[in-house]
A and B are shown apart, each in its own frame.
Chain A
Protein backbone atom coordinates (compact mmCIF):
# COMPACT_ATOMS: atom_id res chain seq x y z
CA UNK A 1 0.00 0.00 0.00
CA UNK A 2 1.19 3.52 -0.78
CA UNK A 3 1.54 6.24 1.86
CA UNK A 4 -1.71 8.21 2.18
CA UNK A 5 0.15 11.45 2.71
CA UNK A 6 2.71 11.59 -0.12
CA UNK A 7 1.26 8.79 -2.25
CA UNK A 8 4.80 7.95 -3.38
CA UNK A 9 6.46 5.61 -0.92
CA UNK A 10 5.34 2.32 0.56
CA UNK A 11 3.27 2.81 3.75
CA UNK A 12 5.04 1.30 6.76
CA UNK A 13 3.21 2.85 9.68
CA UNK A 14 -0.47 2.57 10.38
CA UNK A 15 -2.24 4.69 12.90
CA UNK A 16 -5.59 3.53 14.18
CA UNK A 17 -8.04 5.73 15.94
CA UNK A 18 -11.47 5.09 17.30
CA UNK A 19 -13.93 7.93 17.64
CA UNK A 20 -17.58 7.35 18.47
CA UNK A 21 -16.95 3.62 17.90
CA UNK A 22 -15.86 4.44 14.38
CA UNK A 23 -12.46 3.02 13.52
CA UNK A 24 -10.25 4.98 11.12
CA UNK A 25 -6.83 3.89 9.92
CA UNK A 26 -4.24 5.88 8.10
CA UNK A 27 -1.12 4.45 6.55
CA UNK A 28 2.10 6.43 6.24
CA UNK A 29 5.63 5.91 5.00
CA UNK A 30 8.63 6.40 7.31
CA UNK A 31 9.46 9.82 5.95
CA UNK A 32 5.99 11.29 6.29
CA UNK A 33 5.59 9.84 9.77
CA UNK A 34 9.01 11.23 10.69
CA UNK A 35 8.24 14.61 9.19
CA UNK A 36 5.06 14.82 11.16
CA UNK A 37 7.35 14.45 14.17
CA UNK A 38 7.08 11.97 17.02
CA UNK A 39 7.21 14.56 19.79
CA UNK A 40 3.89 16.01 18.94
CA UNK A 41 2.62 13.37 16.62
CA UNK A 42 -0.85 13.24 18.07
CA UNK A 43 -1.45 16.73 16.83
CA UNK A 44 0.30 15.83 13.59
CA UNK A 45 -2.21 13.05 13.22
CA UNK A 46 -5.06 15.42 13.96
CA UNK A 47 -3.71 17.70 11.31
CA UNK A 48 -3.58 14.98 8.74
CA UNK A 49 -7.07 13.90 9.60
CA UNK A 50 -8.23 17.51 9.42
CA UNK A 51 -6.78 17.60 5.94
CA UNK A 52 -9.12 14.74 5.05
CA UNK A 53 -12.18 16.56 6.32
CA UNK A 54 -14.57 17.45 3.57
CA UNK A 55 -14.80 21.23 3.54
CA UNK A 56 -17.98 21.12 1.49
CA UNK A 57 -18.83 22.38 -1.99
CA UNK A 58 -16.55 25.07 -3.39
CA UNK A 59 -19.39 27.44 -4.27
CA UNK A 60 -20.30 28.78 -0.81
CA UNK A 61 -19.32 32.42 -0.38
CA UNK A 62 -16.73 32.31 -3.15
CA UNK A 63 -14.23 35.13 -3.26
CA UNK A 64 -14.78 36.40 0.28
CA UNK A 65 -11.71 37.24 2.36
CA UNK A 66 -11.46 37.66 6.13
CA UNK A 67 -11.25 41.36 7.09
CA UNK A 68 -9.18 40.35 10.12
CA UNK A 69 -6.30 38.64 8.36
CA UNK A 70 -6.94 38.66 4.61
CA UNK A 71 -7.31 34.88 4.37
CA UNK A 72 -9.34 33.93 1.30
CA UNK A 73 -11.93 31.22 1.35
CA UNK A 74 -9.95 29.20 -1.17
CA UNK A 75 -6.90 29.28 1.13
CA UNK A 76 -9.09 28.29 4.05
CA UNK A 77 -10.42 25.27 2.19
CA UNK A 78 -7.02 24.25 0.90
CA UNK A 79 -5.20 24.51 4.21
CA UNK A 80 -8.01 23.61 6.57
CA UNK A 81 -6.61 26.25 8.94
CA UNK A 82 -8.02 29.55 10.17
CA UNK A 83 -5.95 32.72 9.86
CA UNK A 84 -7.19 34.62 12.91
CA UNK A 85 -9.91 34.73 15.52
CA UNK A 86 -12.15 36.77 13.29
CA UNK A 87 -12.18 34.00 10.64
CA UNK A 88 -14.60 32.16 12.92
CA UNK A 89 -17.14 34.95 12.35
CA UNK A 90 -16.31 35.64 8.72
CA UNK A 91 -17.28 32.14 7.59
CA UNK A 92 -19.70 31.45 10.39
CA UNK A 93 -22.12 28.90 8.88
CA UNK A 94 -19.29 26.99 7.22
CA UNK A 95 -17.21 27.10 10.40
CA UNK A 96 -20.06 25.65 12.41
CA UNK A 97 -20.47 22.78 9.96
CA UNK A 98 -16.74 22.06 9.97
CA UNK A 99 -16.41 22.19 13.73
CA UNK A 100 -19.45 19.96 14.09
CA UNK A 101 -17.89 17.47 11.71
CA UNK A 102 -14.49 17.48 13.40
CA UNK A 103 -15.61 17.69 17.00
CA UNK A 104 -19.11 16.21 17.06
CA UNK A 105 -20.28 19.21 19.11
CA UNK A 106 -20.40 22.96 18.56
CA UNK A 107 -20.57 24.62 21.97
CA UNK A 108 -17.70 25.23 24.34
CA UNK A 109 -18.36 24.29 27.96
CA UNK A 110 -14.82 24.55 29.32
CA UNK A 111 -12.67 27.28 30.75
CA UNK A 112 -13.57 30.97 30.37
CA UNK A 113 -10.71 33.47 30.19
CA UNK A 114 -10.62 36.45 32.55
CA UNK A 115 -10.69 38.80 29.59
CA UNK A 116 -14.08 37.42 28.50
CA UNK A 117 -15.53 39.09 31.58
CA UNK A 118 -18.08 38.21 34.17
CA UNK A 119 -21.10 38.54 31.86
CA UNK A 120 -20.19 35.37 29.96
CA UNK A 121 -19.53 33.59 33.22
CA UNK A 122 -22.94 34.60 34.62
CA UNK A 123 -24.67 33.52 31.41
CA UNK A 124 -23.00 30.14 31.53
CA UNK A 125 -23.98 29.71 35.18
CA UNK A 126 -27.55 30.74 34.42
CA UNK A 127 -27.81 28.12 31.69
CA UNK A 128 -26.46 25.42 33.98
CA UNK A 129 -28.83 26.40 36.80
CA UNK A 130 -31.82 26.30 34.44
CA UNK A 131 -30.84 22.78 33.35
CA UNK A 132 -30.57 21.72 36.99
CA UNK A 133 -33.93 23.30 37.79
CA UNK A 134 -35.59 21.31 35.02
CA UNK A 135 -34.10 18.08 36.31
CA UNK A 136 -35.13 18.90 39.88
CA UNK A 137 -38.73 19.56 38.81
CA UNK A 138 -38.79 16.37 36.74
CA UNK A 139 -37.55 14.37 39.71
CA UNK A 140 -40.00 16.16 42.02
CA UNK A 141 -37.23 17.50 44.27
CA UNK A 142 -39.21 20.65 44.98
CA UNK A 143 -37.04 22.00 47.79
CA UNK A 144 -33.99 21.87 45.51
CA UNK A 145 -36.07 23.42 42.73
CA UNK A 146 -37.11 26.34 44.94
CA UNK A 147 -33.49 26.96 45.91
CA UNK A 148 -32.38 26.86 42.29
CA UNK A 149 -35.20 29.20 41.24
CA UNK A 150 -34.09 31.75 43.85
CA UNK A 151 -30.51 31.61 42.61
CA UNK A 152 -31.66 32.05 39.01
CA UNK A 153 -33.73 35.10 40.02
CA UNK A 154 -30.77 36.47 41.91
CA UNK A 155 -28.52 36.15 38.89
CA UNK A 156 -31.10 37.63 36.51
CA UNK A 157 -31.55 40.57 38.85
CA UNK A 158 -27.83 41.41 38.78
Chain B
Protein backbone atom coordinates (compact mmCIF):
# COMPACT_ATOMS: atom_id res chain seq x y z
CA UNK B 1 0.00 0.00 0.00
CA UNK B 2 1.33 3.47 -0.81
CA UNK B 3 1.96 5.89 2.02
CA UNK B 4 -0.84 8.14 0.80
CA UNK B 5 -3.37 5.32 0.85
CA UNK B 6 -2.23 4.32 4.29
CA UNK B 7 -2.66 7.88 5.53
CA UNK B 8 -6.05 8.28 3.88
CA UNK B 9 -7.27 5.33 5.86
CA UNK B 10 -6.14 7.09 9.00
CA UNK B 11 -8.35 10.12 8.49
CA UNK B 12 -10.87 10.82 11.22
CA UNK B 13 -14.01 12.66 10.22
CA UNK B 14 -12.79 15.87 11.89
CA UNK B 15 -9.70 15.78 9.68
CA UNK B 16 -11.63 15.72 6.41
CA UNK B 17 -11.66 19.50 6.11
CA UNK B 18 -15.42 19.68 5.58
CA UNK B 19 -17.88 21.61 7.65
CA UNK B 20 -18.94 25.25 7.91
CA UNK B 21 -16.23 27.93 7.92
CA UNK B 22 -13.63 25.29 7.26
CA UNK B 23 -11.08 27.81 5.99
CA UNK B 24 -10.71 28.98 9.59
CA UNK B 25 -12.47 26.48 11.83
CA UNK B 26 -10.63 23.16 11.92
CA UNK B 27 -12.75 21.15 14.32
CA UNK B 28 -15.44 21.32 16.97
CA UNK B 29 -15.47 19.11 20.02
CA UNK B 30 -17.81 18.49 22.92
CA UNK B 31 -16.96 16.23 25.79
CA UNK B 32 -19.18 15.24 28.68
CA UNK B 33 -17.81 13.89 31.96
CA UNK B 34 -20.06 11.29 33.60
CA UNK B 35 -19.73 8.90 36.54
CA UNK B 36 -21.66 5.82 37.57
CA UNK B 37 -23.40 6.32 40.91
CA UNK B 38 -22.53 2.95 42.41
CA UNK B 39 -18.71 3.10 42.06
CA UNK B 40 -16.03 5.42 43.43
CA UNK B 41 -14.46 7.66 40.77
CA UNK B 42 -11.44 6.05 39.04
CA UNK B 43 -8.89 7.92 41.19
CA UNK B 44 -10.34 6.32 44.34
CA UNK B 45 -11.54 2.98 42.93
CA UNK B 46 -9.68 -0.27 43.55
CA UNK B 47 -8.22 -2.18 40.66
CA UNK B 48 -11.07 -4.71 40.83
CA UNK B 49 -13.70 -1.96 40.89
CA UNK B 50 -12.13 -0.37 37.82
CA UNK B 51 -12.20 -3.71 36.08
CA UNK B 52 -15.84 -4.15 37.07
CA UNK B 53 -16.76 -0.77 35.60
CA UNK B 54 -14.96 -1.63 32.38
CA UNK B 55 -16.61 -5.07 32.16
CA UNK B 56 -20.03 -3.65 32.93
CA UNK B 57 -19.83 -1.06 30.20
CA UNK B 58 -18.36 -3.57 27.81
CA UNK B 59 -21.20 -6.04 28.43
CA UNK B 60 -23.75 -3.31 27.98
CA UNK B 61 -22.16 -2.27 24.66
CA UNK B 62 -22.07 -5.93 23.64
CA UNK B 63 -25.79 -6.33 24.21
CA UNK B 64 -26.57 -3.37 21.94
CA UNK B 65 -26.56 -0.38 24.34
CA UNK B 66 -25.15 1.86 21.62
CA UNK B 67 -26.68 0.08 18.65
CA UNK B 68 -28.57 3.11 17.40
CA UNK B 69 -25.26 4.87 16.74
CA UNK B 70 -24.28 2.36 14.08
CA UNK B 71 -21.07 0.40 14.09
CA UNK B 72 -18.96 1.13 17.15
CA UNK B 73 -15.89 -0.71 18.43
CA UNK B 74 -14.78 -1.36 21.96
CA UNK B 75 -11.02 -1.30 22.47
CA UNK B 76 -9.31 -2.16 25.75
CA UNK B 77 -6.26 0.01 26.28
CA UNK B 78 -4.17 -2.99 27.28
CA UNK B 79 -4.91 -4.58 23.89
CA UNK B 80 -3.43 -1.65 21.98
CA UNK B 81 0.35 -1.78 21.36
CA UNK B 82 2.19 1.16 22.92
CA UNK B 83 2.98 2.97 19.64
CA UNK B 84 -0.62 2.72 18.45
CA UNK B 85 -1.88 4.27 21.68
CA UNK B 86 0.05 7.46 21.00
CA UNK B 87 -1.40 7.54 17.49
CA UNK B 88 -4.90 7.59 19.05
CA UNK B 89 -3.76 10.43 21.28
CA UNK B 90 -2.50 12.35 18.25
CA UNK B 91 -5.88 11.89 16.59
CA UNK B 92 -7.52 13.37 19.71
CA UNK B 93 -9.50 10.17 20.28
CA UNK B 94 -8.02 9.35 23.67
CA UNK B 95 -6.11 11.39 26.24
CA UNK B 96 -2.51 10.73 27.27
CA UNK B 97 -3.90 9.87 30.70
CA UNK B 98 -6.12 7.10 29.34
CA UNK B 99 -3.22 5.75 27.23
CA UNK B 100 -1.51 4.82 30.49
CA UNK B 101 -4.58 3.37 32.22
CA UNK B 102 -4.47 -0.34 33.05
CA UNK B 103 -8.26 -0.79 33.14
CA UNK B 104 -9.09 1.83 30.55
CA UNK B 105 -11.07 1.34 27.39
CA UNK B 106 -12.46 3.36 24.54
CA UNK B 107 -15.50 3.10 22.31
CA UNK B 108 -14.92 4.53 18.84
CA UNK B 109 -17.35 4.71 15.95
CA UNK B 110 -16.45 4.11 12.34
CA UNK B 111 -15.71 7.65 11.19
CA UNK B 112 -14.14 8.45 14.58
CA UNK B 113 -16.55 11.31 15.25
CA UNK B 114 -17.49 9.65 18.53
CA UNK B 115 -15.20 8.33 21.21
CA UNK B 116 -16.10 7.39 24.75
CA UNK B 117 -13.22 6.96 27.16
CA UNK B 118 -13.79 4.58 30.03
CA UNK B 119 -12.00 4.98 33.37
CA UNK B 120 -10.21 8.17 32.50
CA UNK B 121 -10.45 10.79 35.27
CA UNK B 122 -14.19 10.05 35.29
CA UNK B 123 -15.87 6.74 34.50
CA UNK B 124 -17.09 8.09 31.18
CA UNK B 125 -15.77 10.81 28.95
CA UNK B 126 -18.19 11.06 26.05
CA UNK B 127 -16.70 12.94 23.14
CA UNK B 128 -17.95 14.06 19.76
CA UNK B 129 -15.56 15.57 17.27
CA UNK B 130 -16.69 17.14 13.99
CA UNK B 131 -14.94 19.11 11.23
CA UNK B 132 -15.40 22.87 10.87
CA UNK B 133 -17.55 25.05 13.07
CA UNK B 134 -20.24 22.64 14.28
CA UNK B 135 -20.42 23.00 18.04
CA UNK B 136 -24.20 22.79 18.12
CA UNK B 137 -24.14 19.57 16.10
CA UNK B 138 -21.33 18.21 18.27
CA UNK B 139 -23.39 18.97 21.40
CA UNK B 140 -26.47 17.28 19.95
CA UNK B 141 -24.46 14.21 19.08
CA UNK B 142 -22.76 14.01 22.49
CA UNK B 143 -26.09 14.53 24.23
CA UNK B 144 -27.66 11.72 22.23
CA UNK B 145 -24.90 9.34 23.29
CA UNK B 146 -25.30 10.57 26.85
CA UNK B 147 -29.01 9.67 26.71
CA UNK B 148 -28.13 6.12 25.66
CA UNK B 149 -25.77 5.66 28.60
CA UNK B 150 -28.32 7.33 30.86
CA UNK B 151 -30.85 4.66 29.91
CA UNK B 152 -28.42 1.90 30.88
CA UNK B 153 -26.73 3.26 34.01
CA UNK B 154 -27.49 5.41 37.00
CA UNK B 155 -25.31 8.51 36.96
CA UNK B 156 -23.78 10.28 39.96
CA UNK B 157 -25.89 13.41 39.94
CA UNK B 158 -27.42 15.89 42.36
CA UNK B 159 -30.07 18.55 41.70
CA UNK B 160 -27.79 21.21 43.21
CA UNK B 161 -24.43 20.37 41.62
CA UNK B 162 -25.57 18.48 38.52
CA UNK B 163 -23.32 15.76 37.14
CA UNK B 164 -20.80 14.94 39.86
CA UNK B 165 -17.24 14.75 38.61
CA UNK B 166 -13.87 13.95 40.06
CA UNK B 167 -12.55 17.48 39.55
CA UNK B 168 -14.56 20.52 40.70
CA UNK B 169 -13.69 22.26 37.41
CA UNK B 170 -16.01 19.87 35.53
CA UNK B 171 -18.98 19.63 37.88
CA UNK B 172 -22.47 20.65 36.71
CA UNK B 173 -22.86 20.04 33.00
CA UNK B 174 -19.59 18.08 32.88
CA UNK B 175 -19.23 19.71 29.50
CA UNK B 176 -16.16 21.06 27.80
CA UNK B 177 -16.93 22.44 24.36
CA UNK B 178 -14.06 23.63 22.21
CA UNK B 179 -13.37 24.82 18.73
CA UNK B 180 -9.99 24.76 17.03
CA UNK B 181 -9.24 27.74 14.80
CA UNK B 182 -6.45 28.46 12.32
CA UNK B 183 -5.69 32.18 12.55
CA UNK B 184 -2.67 33.04 10.39
CA UNK B 185 -4.14 36.35 9.20
CA UNK B 186 -4.45 37.74 12.70
CA UNK B 187 -1.04 36.36 13.63
CA UNK B 188 0.75 37.80 10.56
CA UNK B 189 -0.75 41.21 11.15
CA UNK B 190 0.23 41.06 14.82
CA UNK B 191 -3.35 41.05 16.02
CA UNK B 192 -3.47 37.92 18.13
CA UNK B 193 -4.23 40.12 21.10
CA UNK B 194 -7.48 41.00 19.33
CA UNK B 195 -8.61 37.43 19.80
CA UNK B 196 -7.96 37.60 23.49
CA UNK B 197 -9.77 40.89 23.89
CA UNK B 198 -12.76 39.66 21.88
CA UNK B 199 -13.01 36.90 24.36
CA UNK B 200 -13.71 39.01 27.36
CA UNK B 201 -16.83 36.96 27.68
CA UNK B 202 -17.42 35.36 31.04
CA UNK B 203 -16.17 31.82 31.36
CA UNK B 204 -14.51 31.45 27.95
CA UNK B 205 -10.87 30.66 27.50
CA UNK B 206 -8.53 30.87 24.51
CA UNK B 207 -5.09 29.42 24.09
CA UNK B 208 -2.53 28.32 21.54
CA UNK B 209 -2.68 24.61 20.89
CA UNK B 210 1.05 24.07 20.69
CA UNK B 211 1.72 27.43 22.29
CA UNK B 212 5.19 28.80 22.94
CA UNK B 213 5.42 32.15 24.64
CA UNK B 214 2.82 34.50 23.27
CA UNK B 215 3.05 33.00 19.75
CA UNK B 216 0.86 29.99 19.12
CA UNK B 217 2.68 27.38 17.07
CA UNK B 218 1.12 26.92 13.67
CA UNK B 219 -1.22 29.82 14.50
CA UNK B 220 -3.72 27.35 15.85
CA UNK B 221 -5.90 28.43 18.73
CA UNK B 222 -8.55 26.74 20.78
CA UNK B 223 -11.56 28.48 22.28
CA UNK B 224 -13.45 26.66 24.99
CA UNK B 225 -15.70 27.11 27.99
CA UNK B 226 -14.10 27.40 31.39
CA UNK B 227 -17.26 27.36 33.48
CA UNK B 228 -19.30 24.15 33.60
CA UNK B 229 -21.86 25.04 36.25
CA UNK B 230 -24.78 27.48 36.34
CA UNK B 231 -25.25 27.70 32.58
CA UNK B 232 -27.28 25.39 30.42
CA UNK B 233 -25.33 23.41 27.81
CA UNK B 234 -27.12 25.27 25.03
CA UNK B 235 -26.14 28.61 26.56
CA UNK B 236 -22.51 27.56 26.73
CA UNK B 237 -22.54 26.44 23.10
CA UNK B 238 -24.33 29.59 22.02
CA UNK B 239 -21.86 31.94 23.65
CA UNK B 240 -18.94 29.98 22.17
CA UNK B 241 -20.59 30.17 18.75
CA UNK B 242 -20.99 33.91 19.08
CA UNK B 243 -17.35 34.42 20.02
CA UNK B 244 -16.18 32.05 17.30
CA UNK B 245 -18.07 33.83 14.58
CA UNK B 246 -16.59 37.18 15.69
CA UNK B 247 -13.08 35.76 15.61
CA UNK B 248 -13.69 34.20 12.17
CA UNK B 249 -14.86 37.58 10.83
CA UNK B 250 -11.76 39.27 12.19
CA UNK B 251 -9.54 36.61 10.66
CA UNK B 252 -11.15 36.96 7.22
CA UNK B 253 -10.78 40.73 7.39
CA UNK B 254 -7.13 40.38 8.34
CA UNK B 255 -6.51 38.01 5.41
CA UNK B 256 -8.15 40.41 2.96
CA UNK B 257 -6.14 43.31 4.31
CA UNK B 258 -2.92 41.36 3.92
CA UNK B 259 -3.82 40.51 0.33
CA UNK B 260 -4.42 44.16 -0.44
CA UNK B 261 -1.56 45.81 1.37
CA UNK B 262 1.19 43.18 1.62
CA UNK B 263 0.50 41.09 -1.44
CA UNK B 264 4.07 40.46 -2.58
CA UNK B 265 5.45 39.90 0.90
CA UNK B 266 2.60 37.50 1.63
CA UNK B 267 3.15 35.50 -1.58
CA UNK B 268 6.85 35.39 -0.88
CA UNK B 269 6.27 34.03 2.60
CA UNK B 270 3.84 31.39 1.38
CA UNK B 271 6.02 30.17 -1.50
CA UNK B 272 9.09 30.05 0.73
CA UNK B 273 7.12 27.89 3.16
CA UNK B 274 6.20 25.62 0.27
CA UNK B 275 9.83 25.48 -0.84
CA UNK B 276 11.05 24.40 2.56
CA UNK B 277 8.33 21.79 3.13
CA UNK B 278 8.84 20.33 -0.33
CA UNK B 279 12.60 20.04 0.09
CA UNK B 280 13.60 19.79 3.74
CA UNK B 281 15.43 16.64 4.84
CA UNK B 282 15.23 17.32 8.57
CA UNK B 283 12.45 19.31 10.21
CA UNK B 284 11.32 19.82 13.79
CA UNK B 285 7.68 19.85 14.74
CA UNK B 286 7.74 23.58 15.56
CA UNK B 287 9.32 24.50 12.23
CA UNK B 288 6.95 22.26 10.31
CA UNK B 289 3.92 23.79 12.01
CA UNK B 290 5.05 27.30 11.13
CA UNK B 291 5.37 26.52 7.41
CA UNK B 292 2.30 24.31 7.23
CA UNK B 293 0.27 27.21 8.55
CA UNK B 294 1.61 29.43 5.73
CA UNK B 295 1.03 26.71 3.16
CA UNK B 296 -2.56 26.31 4.25
CA UNK B 297 -3.08 30.09 4.12
CA UNK B 298 -1.73 29.98 0.56
CA UNK B 299 -4.24 27.29 -0.34
CA UNK B 300 -7.13 29.18 1.27
CA UNK B 301 -6.19 32.36 -0.62
CA UNK B 302 -5.86 30.46 -3.94
CA UNK B 303 -2.20 31.42 -4.14
CA UNK B 304 -1.24 27.75 -4.13
CA UNK B 305 -3.41 25.48 -6.22
CA UNK B 306 -3.42 21.69 -6.64
CA UNK B 307 -3.00 21.03 -2.94
CA UNK B 308 -5.78 19.80 -0.68
CA UNK B 309 -6.48 22.20 2.22
CA UNK B 310 -6.77 19.10 4.37
CA UNK B 311 -2.99 19.07 4.44
CA UNK B 312 -3.10 21.12 7.64
CA UNK B 313 -5.22 18.56 9.51
CA UNK B 314 -3.18 15.70 8.12
CA UNK B 315 0.09 17.14 9.26
CA UNK B 316 -1.38 18.24 12.57
CA UNK B 317 -1.81 14.55 13.29
CA UNK B 318 0.56 12.57 11.10
CA UNK B 319 3.64 14.71 11.85
CA UNK B 320 3.24 14.19 15.62
CA UNK B 321 5.76 11.88 17.29
CA UNK B 322 3.16 9.23 18.16
CA UNK B 323 1.67 8.97 14.70
CA UNK B 324 5.08 9.04 12.99
CA UNK B 325 6.04 5.97 15.00
CA UNK B 326 2.86 4.25 13.92
CA UNK B 327 3.41 5.08 10.25
CA UNK B 328 7.00 3.88 10.25
CA UNK B 329 6.22 1.16 12.77
CA UNK B 330 9.27 1.70 14.93
CA UNK B 331 10.35 3.63 17.99
CA UNK B 332 12.06 6.80 16.82
CA UNK B 333 14.57 9.01 18.62
CA UNK B 334 13.90 12.77 18.30
CA UNK B 335 16.47 13.25 15.52
CA UNK B 336 15.11 10.28 13.56
CA UNK B 337 11.62 11.70 13.94
CA UNK B 338 12.73 14.99 12.41
CA UNK B 339 14.11 13.08 9.43
CA UNK B 340 11.01 10.88 9.02
CA UNK B 341 8.78 13.92 9.45
CA UNK B 342 10.59 15.68 6.60
CA UNK B 343 10.23 12.52 4.44
CA UNK B 344 6.52 12.34 5.18
CA UNK B 345 5.91 16.02 4.48
CA UNK B 346 7.78 15.87 1.15
CA UNK B 347 5.58 12.95 0.18
CA UNK B 348 2.35 14.75 1.09
CA UNK B 349 3.34 18.10 -0.43
CA UNK B 350 4.61 16.49 -3.64
**A106 contacts B229, C-beta separation under 8 Å:** yes
**A115 contacts B155, C-beta separation under 8 Å:** yes
Instruction: Kindly state the separation between the CA atoms of A104 and B337 in the bound complex, as whole angstroms.
Output: 45
**A83 contacts B41, C-beta separation under 8 Å:** yes
**A85 contacts B205, C-beta separation under 8 Å:** no
**Set of chain A residues within 8 Å of B175, measured between Cβ atoms:** 110
**B167 contacts A42, C-beta separation under 8 Å:** no
Q: Is A58 an interface residue (CB 8 A)?
A: no
Closest B residue, CB atoms, query A17 = B205
Given known pairs A80-B167, A113-B155, A115-B154, the reply for A106 and B230 (CB within 8 Å) is yes
Q: Is A137 an interface residue (CB 8 A)?
A: no
Given known pairs A20-B202, A38-B210, the reply for A102 and B44 (CB within 8 Å) is no
Q: Is A153 an interface residue (CB 8 A)?
A: no
**B205 contacts A83, C-beta separation under 8 Å:** no
Instruction: Kindly state the separation between the CA atoms of A124 and B114 in the bound complex, as whole angstroms.
Output: 31
Closest B residue, CB atoms, query A33 = B211
Q: Tell me the count of chain A residues lying within 8 A, CB to CB, of chain B.
A: 57
Q: Is A70 an interface residue (CB 8 A)?
A: yes
Contact stretch, chosen from B11-19, B72-80, B87-95, B299-307? B87-95
Interface string of B221-261 (1 = CB under 8 A from A): 01010111111110000000000000000000000000000
Q: How far is the CB of A16 from chain B (nearest CB, A)?
A: 7
**Set of chain B residues within 8 Å of A95, measured between Cβ atoms:** 161, 168
Q: Is B109 an interface residue (CB 8 A)?
A: no
Q: Is A62 an interface residue (CB 8 A)?
A: no
Q: How far is the CB of A151 from chain B (nearest CB, A)?
A: 20
Interface string of B202-226 (1 = CB under 8 A from A): 1111111111111000000010101
Q: Is B61 an interface residue (CB 8 A)?
A: no
Q: Is A49 an interface residue (CB 8 A)?
A: yes
Q: Is A81 an interface residue (CB 8 A)?
A: yes
Given known pairs A50-B167, A110-B162, A116-B157, the reply for A83 and B96 (CB within 8 Å) is no
Closest B residue, CB atoms, query A19 = B226
Given known pairs A50-B168, A84-B40, the reply for A108 and B160 (CB within 8 Å) is yes
Contact stretch, chosen from B143-151, B268-276, B325-333? B143-151
Q: Is A21 an interface residue (CB 8 A)?
A: yes
Q: Is B66 an interface residue (CB 8 A)?
A: no
Partner of B212, one of A13, A41, A98: A13
Interface string of A58-70 (1 = CB under 8 A from B): 0000000000111
**B173 contacts A111, C-beta separation under 8 Å:** yes
Q: How far is the CB of B144 from chain A (nearest CB, A)?
A: 12
Interface string of B95-118 (1 = CB under 8 A from A): 111000000000000000000000
Q: Is B81 an interface residue (CB 8 A)?
A: no
Closest A residue, CB atoms, query B156 = A85
Partner of B94, one of A39, A68, A113: A39
**B146 contacts A111, C-beta separation under 8 Å:** yes
Q: Is B348 an interface residue (CB 8 A)?
A: no
**Set of chain A residues within 8 Å of B230, measured between Cβ atoms:** 103-109
Closest B residue, CB atoms, query A42 = B224
**Set of chain B residues within 8 Å of A20, measured between Cβ atoms:** 202-203
Given known pairs A46-B169, A84-B40, A111-B146, the reply for A40 and B213 (CB within 8 Å) is no
Q: Is B184 an interface residue (CB 8 A)?
A: no
Given known pairs A68-B40, A108-B161, the reply for A17 and B96 (CB within 8 Å) is no
Cross-chain pairs A/B with CB under 8 angstroms, 28 sampled? A14-B214, A15-B211, A17-B207, A17-B226, A18-B204, A18-B206, A19-B226, A37-B97, A40-B92, A40-B95, A43-B169, A43-B176, A49-B169, A70-B44, A81-B41, A84-B44, A99-B161, A99-B171, A103-B171, A103-B227, A103-B229, A105-B229, A105-B231, A107-B160, A108-B162, A111-B232, A114-B147, A115-B150
Contacts A45-B207, A83-B44 given; 10 further ones with Cβ under 8 A?
Answer: A16-B207, A38-B209, A42-B224, A79-B43, A81-B121, A82-B164, A85-B158, A106-B161, A110-B172, A113-B163
3 nearest A-B pairs in the assembled complex, by CB-CB distance? A105-B230, A108-B162, A85-B156
